[in-house]
């Protein structure tokens, strides 16, 4: 069912989306606000840093399959002076001339070391899943930022509309006050009616100030969601988004399927669950042996007394190769503790995943019901605006002709103000619900479904 058109000038005039007196103001478009937030919001920057760390960890995990290589170089010098020594029969002999020993050398070596165990391969698998989870963490942060910007934007739009309503209320009350002054001058209105119109005008001015303060706060909330540094400027206009999407075509089962397949938080938790399951096998692999291999090459020389340390043309060479297999038999129950911790982490990951699935299903169902009821409520409220506007025009003409008292006119004005305010609040609260639903199902635009 198509939404009834609101053809009255007071409702159609709002489609321009710029506050009164804001012709020269900057206009913030919703899509532009989202693009800025996706580039500058701190939560996205933080999530991307976490993904970069996970990517670096991934390289480290793959590097465990490769041998480590090291190069060592060194120089050495030792000297000793001997004056006494023991004979084989145990007597001590003292030399007339001491024996001086001066040994110097330089050397260099290249070594390779490799250790392979079952944990190496399981850690690679777990690291891959954590990398996937970090990437989905970025997607989740982006989806949350988009929702935050939309909610802040729709709240600011609502506040902007209420400022417009407040301004028109002030203009209307000022006109009624001036009309009552004219009637009072010709004794067609009482003093009490004149005071009532002036009080109504002052109250309308106070309400306008309050509405403008709320609008400034809402615009700052958009700036915060965007991640911009300047929060001082609130003199902007907001472009109205397209009409509220139709709610009747929403299919709860299809939305739930889309949420299970595309919700970034569910996909992140699923990746963490797979990583935890792999880490259980990594902990169990602690009972398996570890293979180690070492290969090294070295060269060096002994230096004469007249040779410098850095005269390097080594004649002495050496090489070493070793291959070993080790199996720890007992390490103080550490493997038992590691297995228990890994199993507990897997159970926690599965519980988190299940809890999030239930929460997403509940939120999707609640939002679909809320949107569909809110859509019907909005249609009623928009019709109430049309009726209240028509009633106000009739009452204003009757008051001008003097056939009704001022209190009837005031009541008609209040009815229109209340109807407009309820319609605006419902419209933008409904758009907020749409933004929340889009985030839950993975960020897809639901108005294209």
- Residue listed under structure tokens 């532009």: 32
Give dist(CA 334, CA 136) in Å, integer: 33
Tell me whether residue 250 is in a domain: yes
Whole-number mean pLDDT of the chain? 82
Question: Quick one: average pLDDT of 9-13?
Answer: 34
Range of the domain at 375: 9-68+118-289+331-448
The SS3 of residue 291 is: strand
In this prediction, residue 14 has a pLDDT band, given cuts at 50, 70 and 90, of very low
In this prediction, residue 209 has a pLDDT band, given cuts at 50, 70 and 90, of very high
Number of CB atoms found within 10 A of residue 250's CB: 20
Give dist(CA 3, CA 11) in Å, integer: 14
Higher pLDDT, 236 or 135: 135
> Does residue 407 carry a pLDDT above 80?
no
Nearest to 225 by CA among 425, 32, 447, 407: 32
Our CA angle for 187, 180, 390, nearest 5°, is 130
Tell me whether residue 1 is in a domain: no
In this prediction, residue 19 has a pLDDT band, given cuts at 50, 70 and 90, of very low
Confidence at residue 12, expressed as pLDDT on a 0 to 100 scale? 34
Return the bridge partners of 92, or none: 86
Write out pLDDT tens, residues 236-290: 778 876 678 888 888 899 999 989 888 999 999 999 999 888 888 888 877 778 8
> b/e per residue, 49-59, with b = 16+ CB within 10 A?
ebbeebeebbe
In this prediction, residue 85 has a pLDDT band, given cuts at 50, 70 and 90, of confident
Tell me whether residue 276 is in a domain: yes
Tell me whether residue 321 is in a domain: no
Question: Quick one: average pLDDT of 137-155?
Answer: 91
Confidence at residue 16, expressed as pLDDT on a 0 to 100 scale? 31
Confidence at residue 443, expressed as pLDDT on a 0 to 100 scale? 66
Give dist(CA 129, CA 126) in Å, integer: 5
Dihedral class, residue 443 (left if φ above 0, else alpha if ψ from -120 to 50, else beta): left
Give dist(CA 373, CA 385) in Å, integer: 19
Higher pLDDT, 439 or 27: 439
How would DSSP label each residue in 348-396?
Answer: HHHHHHHHHHHHHHHHHHHHHHHHHHHHHHHHHHHHHHHHHHHHHHHHH
> Does residue 448 carry a pLDDT above 60?
no
Tell me whether residue 345 is in a domain: yes
Tell me whether residue 317 is in a domain: no
Higher pLDDT, 36 or 330: 36
User: pTM for this structure?
Assistant: 0.72
Query: Which among 174-183, 197-206, 307-316 has the top mean pLDDT?
Result: 197-206
Q: Which of 87-101, 129-143, 162-176, 262-276 has the lowest mean pLDDT?
A: 87-101
The DSSP symbol for 64 reads: T
Tell me whether residue 95 is in a domain: no
Distances (CA, A) of 425 to 104, 158, 222, 408, 440: 89, 6, 18, 26, 23
Give dist(CA 415, CA 205) in Å, integer: 18
Tell me whether residue 102 is in a domain: no
CATH number at residue 214: 1.20.1600.10
Structural domain count, the chain: 1
């Amino acid at each position: 069912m198509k939404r009834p058109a609101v053809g009255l000038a007071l409702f159609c005039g709002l489609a321009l989306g710029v506050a009164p007196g804001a012709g020269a103001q900057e206009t913030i478009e919703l899509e532009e606000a989202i693009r800025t937030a996706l580039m500058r919001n701190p939560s996205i920057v933080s999530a991307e840093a976490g993904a970069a760390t996970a990517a670096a960890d991934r390289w480290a995990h793959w590097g465990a399959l490769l041998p480590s290589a090291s190069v060592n170089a060194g120089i050495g010098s030792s000297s000793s002076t001997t004056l006494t020594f023991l004979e084989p029969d145990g007597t001590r002999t003292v030399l007339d001339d001491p024996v001086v020993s001066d040994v110097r050398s330089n050397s260099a070596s290249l070594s390779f070391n490799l250790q392979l165990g079952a944990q190496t391969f399981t850690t690679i698998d777990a690291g891959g899943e954590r990398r996937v989870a970090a990437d989905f963490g970025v997607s989740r942060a982006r989806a949350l930022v988009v929702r935050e910007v939309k909610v802040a934007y729709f709240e600011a739009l609502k506040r902007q509309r209420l400022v417009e309503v407040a301004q028109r209320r002030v203009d209307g009350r000022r006109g009624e006050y001036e009309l009552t002054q004219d009637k009072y001058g010709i004794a067609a209105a009482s003093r009490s009616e004149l005071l009532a119109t002036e009080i109504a005008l002052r109250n309308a001015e106070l309400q306008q100030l309050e509405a403008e303060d709320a609008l400034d706060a809402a615009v700052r909330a958009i700036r915060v969601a965007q991640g911009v540094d300047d929060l001082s400027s609130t003199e902007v206009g907001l472009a109205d988004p397209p009409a509220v999407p139709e709610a009747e075509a929403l299919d709860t089962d299809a939305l739930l399927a889309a949420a299970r397949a595309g919700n970034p938080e569910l996909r992140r938790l699923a990746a963490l669950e797979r990583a935890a399951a792999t880490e259980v096998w990594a902990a169990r692999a602690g009972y398996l042996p570890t293979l180690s291999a070492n290969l090294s090459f070295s060269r060096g020389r002994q230096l004469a007394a007249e040779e410098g340390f850095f005269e390097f043309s080594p004649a002495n060479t050496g090489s070493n190769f070793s291959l070993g297999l080790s199996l720890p038999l007992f390490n103080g129950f550490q493997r038992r503790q590691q297995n228990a911790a890994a199993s507990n982490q897997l159970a926690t990951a599965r519980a988190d995943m299940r809890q999030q699935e239930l929460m997403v299903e509940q939120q999707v169902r609640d939002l679909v019901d809320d949107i569909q009821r809110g859509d019907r409520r909005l249609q009623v409220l928009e019709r109430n605006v049309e009726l209240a506007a028509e009633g106000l025009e009739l009452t204003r003409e009757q008051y001008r002709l003097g056939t009704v008292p001022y209190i009837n006119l005031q009541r008609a004005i209040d009815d229109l103000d209340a109807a407009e305010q309820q319609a605006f609040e419902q419209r933008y609260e409904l758009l907020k619900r749409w933004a929340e639903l889009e985030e839950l199902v993975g960020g897809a635009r639901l108005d294209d479904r």
